[in-house]
């Protein structure tokens, strides 16, 4: 049974919030909270077991950053795409802080499976993936954005296609090429 909220209602609340209606945000957050928490849990499940961030803390930090932003969120897909970017940035910031605290040491290979999941052991892996995505974005911004939306945002191929205004076939093709590029670049840098 699908318990996800009506996308049109979420979109309407996002528009109201964008127009300055703070009550719309109060209505919106309970509707999207579970999906954001599932995204955060999925990311953190791939992290080391003693990770200091909990899914709830990750979602709350993302919420604070969303509320403090001046972004005009167009619809549900755009909201989750922006949320994915914010969640990724929080994880990267956390990994950078941990790396600074530990003062570096030994980059590990980043396994890149079919889902491009964040590596399970080291903060360095999150940083390696982030740096690789930045290099990919410099070469091909759309491929980088597709990886971010699908892997960090949890969007489907169709939702990604809608968000980027391209066909689902293009998303699948670009994703295959992006994965191959990342696989080569992640293994050659470690």
Q: How far is CA 127 from CA 108, 124, 150, 158, in A?
A: 11, 5, 18, 28
pLDDT digits (tens, 9 = 90+) for 136-158: 999 999 998 898 888 777 788 89
Listed in sequence order, the residues at least 6 apart from 160 whose beta carbon sits closer than 8 Å to its beta carbon are 146, 149, 150, 153, 168, 171
148 vs 47, higher pLDDT = 148
Q: What percentage of the chain has pLDDT greater than the value 70?
A: 77
Q: Identify the top-confidence range among 105-109, 116-120, 122-126, 173-177.
A: 173-177
Q: Which two tokens stand for residue 30?
A: 């309970």
pLDDT at 104: 43
Total-model pTM = 0.60
Q: How far is CA 79 from CA 21, 22, 72, 73, in A?
A: 16, 16, 9, 6
With cut-offs at 50, 70 and 90, classify the pLDDT of residue 171: very high
Instruction: Please check the confidence at residue 62 and state whether its pLDDT lies above 50.
Output: yes
Half-sphere exposure of residue 175, counting CA atoms within 13 Å on the CB side?
24
């Amino acid at each position: 049974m699908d318990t996800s909220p009506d996308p049109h209602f979420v979109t309407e609340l996002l528009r109201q919030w964008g127009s300055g209606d703070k009550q719309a945000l109060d209505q919106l957050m309970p509707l999207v909270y579970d999906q954001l928490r599932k995204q955060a849990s999925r990311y953190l499940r791939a992290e080391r077991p003693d990770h200091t961030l909990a899914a709830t803390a990750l979602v709350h930090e993302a919420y604070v950053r969303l509320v403090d932003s001046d972004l005009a969120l167009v619809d549900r897909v755009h909201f989750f795409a922006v949320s994915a970017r914010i969640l990724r940035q929080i994880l990267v910031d956390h990994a950078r802080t941990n790396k600074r605290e530990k003062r570096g040491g030994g980059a590990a290979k980043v396994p890149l499976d079919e889902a491009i999941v964040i590596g399970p052991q080291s903060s360095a892996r999150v940083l390696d993936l982030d740096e690789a995505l930045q290099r990919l974005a410099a070469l091909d911004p759309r491929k980088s954005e597709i990886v971010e939306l699908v892997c960090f945002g949890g969007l489907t191929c169709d939702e990604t296609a809608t968000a980027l205004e391209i066909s689902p076939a293009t998303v699948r093709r670009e994703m295959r090429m992006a994965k191959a590029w990342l696989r080569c670049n992640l293994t050659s840098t470690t």
